[in-house]
């Protein structure tokens, strides 16, 4: 795909010709955000709407933000920007091999400096906003994306209009822990190829998905196959894990923020325990905590409207 020109507002096209409920959707575009790093991104909605940056979690490309959810946000007045983090999807792969022994040392708190940090990934996000000519935006992140969104807010609070942190945590190790059954699966060697990746991913999502909102096995497999096809990097995922494990406790700095915030967490989350969401909401002075019964570590489709309404409600608190 050809790179875009240095336009601040990418051209958009209707997502479905003749559909009165359709929203404009851009092609996938590319933004140089820092030396050696280029992000792939896509927009939904009217560029004159309120900018909303969506930040995905560990190993998740931007397609994990479902188009239906993005369109619903756009219909609520947002100019939605979703993107692939570095080491994910069609964005730059940093390079360099990570050994599983490095991960184990980092889990034990004995890791050295990671290849990059969550602060570096927050810098990528700010670089994307710069590329789009946006001085500030509402920012919503899931899991690791929530950690990146929090980092953005504490490092450059004037550029984050509102903060939405979904199934994430503050970085303090005594909250937001993983269920002990998950670590062996996360660091286990995967078989080579697309099929092995998809089957391993499906097993993981069976463990961490929402028990009250189960996904069909075929749907989970299809998303895993799309993730592989987009450009999966096992070493990239491990580099992101090292960044997560090296994160500082943001709690003290979160307490200084004044913008409206929304914290969403499921009470059945095995990947990031509910205590992480509660700690995040407790640290943020102007936060609404939304605890969702029966939700695990995913975004159930039946709850898209509830989540979009909550993000809209948070943005309205800022404008009000």
Give the count of beta carbons closer than 10 Å to the beta carbon of residue 102. Answer: 18
Give the CA-trace dihedral at 41, 47, 50, 51, to 10 degrees: 20
Give the count of beta carbons closer than 10 Å to the beta carbon of residue 163. Answer: 28
What's the rounded Cα separation, in Å, for the pair 180 and 292?
A: 22
What's the rounded Cα separation, in Å, for the pair 152 and 130?
A: 14
What Rg, from alpha-carbon coordinates, does the chain have? 18
| Tokens representing residue 211 in the block | 């028990």
Cα angle 80, 90, 22; round to 5: 30
pLDDT averaged per 10 residues in sequence order, the chain, 320 residues: 39 50 94 96 98 98 98 98 98 88 79 91 98 98 98 98 98 93 76 89 92 95 96 93 95 98 98 98 98 98 98 94
* pLDDT for 99: 82
* pLDDT for 100: 77
- DSSP 8-state class, residue 271: S
Nearest to 58 by CA among 309, 318, 297: 297
* CATH class, 26-178+234-319 region: alpha beta
Give the count of beta carbons closer than 10 Å to the beta carbon of residue 25. Answer: 19
What's the rounded Cα separation, in Å, for the pair 112 and 123?
A: 21
What's the rounded Cα separation, in Å, for the pair 314 and 68?
A: 20
Give this prediction's pTM: 0.92
Nearest to 81 by CA among 34, 29, 118: 29
95: left (phi over 0), alpha (psi -120 to 50) or beta: left
Residues 6+ apart with CB under 8 A from 98: 115, 235, 238, 239, 242
User: What three-state secondary structure class fits 199?
Assistant: helix
Nearest to 306 by CA among 294, 290, 317: 290
* pLDDT for 146: 98
- DSSP 8-state class, residue 5: -
* pLDDT for 283: 98
What's the rounded Cα separation, in Å, for the pair 54 and 139?
A: 6
Answer yes or no: are the C-beta atoms of 194 and 231 closer than 8 Å: no
What's the rounded Cα separation, in Å, for the pair 292 and 271?
A: 15
């Amino acid at each position: 795909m050809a790179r875009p020109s240095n336009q601040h507002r990418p051209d958009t096209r209707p997502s479905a010709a003749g559909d009165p409920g359709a929203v404009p959707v851009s092609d996938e575009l590319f933004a140089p955000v820092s030396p050696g790093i280029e992000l792939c991104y896509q927009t939904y909605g009217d560029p004159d709407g309120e900018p909303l940056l969506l930040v995905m979690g560990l190993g998740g490309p931007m397609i994990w933000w479902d188009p239906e959810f993005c369109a619903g946000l756009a219909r609520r007045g947002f100019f939605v920007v979703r993107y692939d983090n570095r080491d994910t999807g069609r964005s730059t792969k940093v390079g360099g091999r990570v050994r599983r022994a490095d991960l184990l040392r980092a889990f034990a708190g004995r890791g050295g400096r990671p290849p990059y940090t969550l602060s570096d990934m927050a810098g990528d996000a700010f670089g994307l906003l710069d590329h789009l000519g946006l001085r500030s935006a509402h920012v919503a992140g899931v899991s690791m994306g929530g950690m990146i969104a929090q980092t953005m807010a504490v490092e450059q609070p004037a550029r984050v209009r509102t903060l939405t942190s979904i199934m994430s945590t503050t970085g303090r190790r005594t909250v937001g822990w993983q269920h002990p059954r998950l670590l062996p699966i996360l660091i286990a060697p995967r078989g080579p190829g697309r099929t092995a990746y998809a089957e391993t991913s499906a097993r993981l999502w069976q463990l961490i998905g929402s028990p009250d909102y189960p996904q069909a096995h075929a749907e989970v497999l299809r998303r895993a196959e799309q993730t592989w096809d987009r450009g999966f990097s096992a070493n990239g995922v491990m580099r992101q894990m090292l960044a997560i494990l090296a994160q500082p406790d943001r709690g003290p700095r979160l307490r200084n923020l004044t913008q409206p915030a929304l914290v969403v967490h499921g009470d059945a989350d095995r990947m990031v325990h509910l205590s992480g969401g509660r700690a995040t909401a407790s640290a943020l002075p102007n936060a609404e905590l939304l605890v969702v019964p029966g939700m695990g570590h995913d975004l159930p489709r039946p709850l898209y409207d509830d989540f979009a309404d909550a993000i809209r409600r948070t943005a309205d608190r800022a404008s009000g």
